Amino acid sequence: MPKALLIDPQTGAVAIPVTAVTTEGLEAAAAALDAGQRAWVEASGFTAKAGSTLLVPGAAGAVSAVLFGLGKEGAPDADPLVAGRLSALPAGTYRLAGGFPDPSLAALAFALGGYRYTRYRTAEEGDTALEIPAEVDGAELRRTVAAVTLARDLINTPSNRLGPADLAAAIREVAATHGATVAETVGDALLTAGLPMIHTVGAAAIPERAPRLVDLAWGDPAAPKVTLVGKGVVFDTGGLDLKPSDAMLLMKKDMGGAANALALAAMIMGAGLKLRLRLLVPAVENAVSGAAFRPGDVLESRKGVSVEIGNTDAEGRLILGDALTLASEEKPELMIDFATLTGAARVALGPDIPAVFTDDDTLAADLARHSAALGDPTWRLPLWAPYAAMLESKVADINNAGTGGFAGSITAALFLQRFVGEDIPWLHVDLYAWSRSSRPARPEGGDAQSIRALYALLKERYR
């Protein structure tokens, strides 16, 4: 497949028009063509099925127009990113000629649909270019595409090429682009700094993959404080509660929370939002060695809450616990964490819809509104306080794994809430960070989830 590029309108160049049509509007769209082209449409059997394309030839036989199907008008299962199919058009330059409900979303879907992870394979030749519509903010569009690409690239990178130090280097690279500062606390220095759970989870890895906390800061210190926290488990064996082999196959994506948090941070800094941004990424490998923590161990935390280990494969909430405590100490106006935290969230909502948790009804409503508008789905689940009883321990303040096998995503969120400071608006995003199969704008592999909706929310508040 050719590469999908976004370009500015070219003076004097002829771009092939792409017209979106519904099944009901096909007849009218065909009527606007010349007689030969109408005959071509009729002979092709084109029905404007959602995501379908028809190349319409001109007098010389070359493609002169494209019809793009939207399916039945008002279909309840319509995909807002269906225009991602346009990235499969033959090499050439195209423009959106009309019929698209949201040209900005269509242009974004085109670019996202053309993503390929090509670090270890030869890129395919040829370019399919789309002119950015005049009514679309090209700079914003490019920032969004770059951020999603960053998240996808990091998640798709094999774990032997992306250890904790490599993840920190990626954060430093983004920081340098935007003039942010970065501090790292590495290895045994985590104990001195009062981050014992991050140290414990990563202690079993080899020295070259030592655990660390990466701390990025950007913006006016006097501006409202917004803190992002991302789970950065670069590979998760499950620890001594070892995962079966088939469950390890995708564990390179267990740093998907960190990748999405970094991508959102890049969007915020690139847009110059009026806020003080902090990004905290605890980066570890949950490995197996003589230094691995054990089921039944009791860990101290930065907050002073003692944690009994019911399952070493519930490690993400441990490193996030220390990071959320640290983040809470400066009392941000808003705190958001991202984590590929529980399989229970996937059982409840599937791979495409991140579960979100918050006690802030206004925050939840704003996020739901932007999620719907941008085709970036999220779904709120309850922080059901009575389920905290499932995390009770007989030897510590709390257990890291719930009992009974029920409500796993809720109990994980309740565990994290224990480490969030009082009166701090907080949102927890339990995401999959992966597309299991290719769909419009979402090729199979690592993906960004919820960050476009959250960026829109932050832009609305801190423009």
Its pTM surpasses 0.85: yes
DSSP 155: H
**In the chain, what percentage of residues exceed pLDDT 90?**
94
Closest among 76, 8, 2, 81 to 448, alpha carbons compared: 81
* pLDDT recorded at residue 125: 67
Mean pLDDT, residues 96-115 taken together: 97
> What does R_g of the chain's alpha carbons equal in angstroms?
24
Same domain, 197 and 332: yes
Read off the tokens for 184: 């790292």
For residue 1, pLDDT over 60 is answered with no
* pLDDT recorded at residue 2: 53
* pLDDT recorded at residue 163: 98
User: What CA–CA distances, in Å, run from 448 to 3, 83, 228, 257?
Assistant: 20, 18, 15, 9
Same domain, 155 and 112: no
Contact (CB, 8 A) for 99 and 17 = no
Contact (CB, 8 A) for 453 and 375 = no
Strand partners, 20: 68
Sign of CA dihedral 284, 289, 293, 296: positive
For residue 85, pLDDT over 50 is answered with yes
Burial class (CB in 10 A: 0-12, 13-18, 19+), 378: buried
Closest among 130, 202, 131, 136 to 168, alpha carbons compared: 202
* pLDDT recorded at residue 61: 83
Of 88, 111, 136, which closes a domain? 136
Same domain, 325 and 391: yes
Sign of CA dihedral 365, 367, 369, 371: negative
Same domain, 256 and 184: yes
Q: Which band of pLDDT confidence, cut at 50, 70 and 90, is reported for residue 79? A: very high
* pLDDT recorded at residue 14: 87
Same domain, 211 and 169: yes
Q: 349-405: per-residue pLDDT in tens? A: 999 999 999 999 999 999 999 999 999 999 999 999 999 999 999 999 999 999 988
Q: Which residues are catalytic?
A: 243, 317
Same domain, 85 and 131: yes
Question: What is the C-alpha separation between 281 and 325, in angstroms, rounded?
Answer: 13
Question: What is the C-alpha separation between 6 and 93, in angstroms, rounded?
Answer: 10
Same domain, 323 and 436: yes
Same domain, 77 and 212: no
CATH number of the domain to which 258 belongs: 3.40.630.10
* pLDDT recorded at residue 122: 78
Same domain, 191 and 251: yes
Task: Please state the domain count of the chain.
Answer: 2
Same domain, 121 and 148: no
Of 101, 136, 171, which closes a domain? 136
Q: Which of 24-38, 176-190, 199-213, 262-276 has the lowest mean pLDDT?
A: 24-38
Question: What is the C-alpha separation between 185 and 195, in angstroms, rounded?
Answer: 9
Mean pLDDT, residues 163-190 taken together: 98
Tell me which residue has tokens 């449409």. Answer: 41
Of 136, 151, 166, which closes a domain? 136
Q: Which of 23-37, 113-127, 252-266, 424-438 has the lowest mean pLDDT?
A: 113-127
Q: Per this entry, what is the length of the chain?
A: 463
Question: What is the C-alpha separation between 192 and 195, in angstroms, rounded?
Answer: 8
Q: 112-149: per-residue pLDDT in tens? A: 999 999 999 877 767 899 999 999 999 999 999 999 99
More confident residue, 267 or 121: 267
Question: What is the C-alpha separation between 307 and 190, in angstroms, rounded?
Answer: 18
Question: What is the C-alpha separation between 302 and 274, in angstroms, rounded?
Answer: 30
Same domain, 149 and 88: no
Same domain, 303 and 279: yes
Structural domain that includes position 259 = 143-462
CATH number of the domain to which 15 belongs: 3.40.220.10
User: What CA–CA distances, in Å, run from 159 to 11, 47, 436?
Assistant: 45, 45, 19
